[in-house]
Amino acid sequence: MGWLWGSGNGSTDDLDSSLQDFLKREAPTGPKPTLPAPTEKPADTSNPTSTPRHAETESEQPSVPPQSQFQDGRYAHLWKNYTPQGILDDRGKNEQDKLRDLVEAYNDRRASVGRAAMENCALEYMEQFECFRKPKTWVALGTLCNAESRRFNRCYDMQSKFLKALGYLTMDQRSQEEDEKIQMHADKLYQQMVQHEAELEKAEKEGRPRPTFESLLSNSDVSRTLKSNTSPPSTTSQTKQPGTEAETDVWSLIKPEVREEYERKLAELPPEQQEYERMAVMGELKAQTSITKKVEETFVEERMARIKRREAGQATLGDSIKYWWGWG
């Protein structure tokens, strides 16, 4: 049995003769299958300025979709007419299906904010659960775990606000990794907020002046998180502060009386909480504005399709009813 810890040179001379015969008999025969290698152009010796194959840029290689396992251009002719399944599914949907998909996607995104906040507050939730299951002190038993419940509820509420402020609620196309980055950054902001509050409370007990901290939700930080840290924030996004052009454009779509009611409620909150609440509301308004724009685009596409069918003499009963009702 010395072959189990042999030198590892791949030789079968030390094996038993019957085992060697078995391996030779069961070994596959015939030529080994090989994958086609990328074609290389022969170097042009007559032209001294010609560059070798490895110096060619990626743009000169045949383009293949990301679904291909061979990004070097192999089998590019097979992928030439490839269409992603999502595009094929969208082609078979009518206007009602598209609107339903938009509403479902928005509702799922709102639910995902709660799921992400719940994951970030898992420790607070388990502390509350353990207190309900088996209280450790008579105070917790007498107050029905009020302190643990308030700690979890505040964590859940603040985590949701941070997620909305960082753009987690928007309908932008993002990967799972990008969503996780936003979720982790929201948890980081919450931990920093808790630390700041502890330092403020300690300063008040010791009679020291209240320390000042930088804003947790600066506009440059939000812009950098929205870009998922893939590229540095632009100069324009850093110079915009809350209450300037970006916020004004969103509030211009809101009724004045609704904004006045919001500002009145915002003024009742503590100063350190006003910024978090304002940025969270801004995140919700941006998400609602985005979904409203997509719905309007869907209605415009539907109207153009009805006009084309009516001009071609292929109008349906629904097209006629909408035309009689003045929908175009």
CA separation for the pair 160, 150 (Å, rounded) = 15
> Is 0.85 topped by the overall pTM?
no
Tens of pLDDT, residue by residue over 263-289, are 888 888 887 788 888 889 888 888 888
Domain layout of the chain by residue ranges: 92-208+251-308
Percent of the chain scoring above 70 in pLDDT:
75
Q: What is the average pLDDT across 257-264?
A: 85
Least confident of 25-29, 224-228, 313-317: 224-228
* Model pLDDT for residues 139-181, shown as the tens digit of each residue: 888 888 999 999 999 999 999 999 999 999 988 888 889 999 9
Indicate the average pLDDT of the chain. Answer: 78
Which pairs from 151-158 meet CB under 8 Å and 24+ separation?
151/124, 151/127, 152/121, 152/124, 152/125, 152/127, 152/128, 155/117, 155/120, 155/121, 155/124, 155/190, 156/117, 156/118, 156/121, 156/124, 158/190, 158/193, 158/276
CB neighbours (10 Å) of residue 72? 13
Confidence bin at 234 (pLDDT 50/70/90): very low
What's the confidence (pLDDT) of residue 181? 93
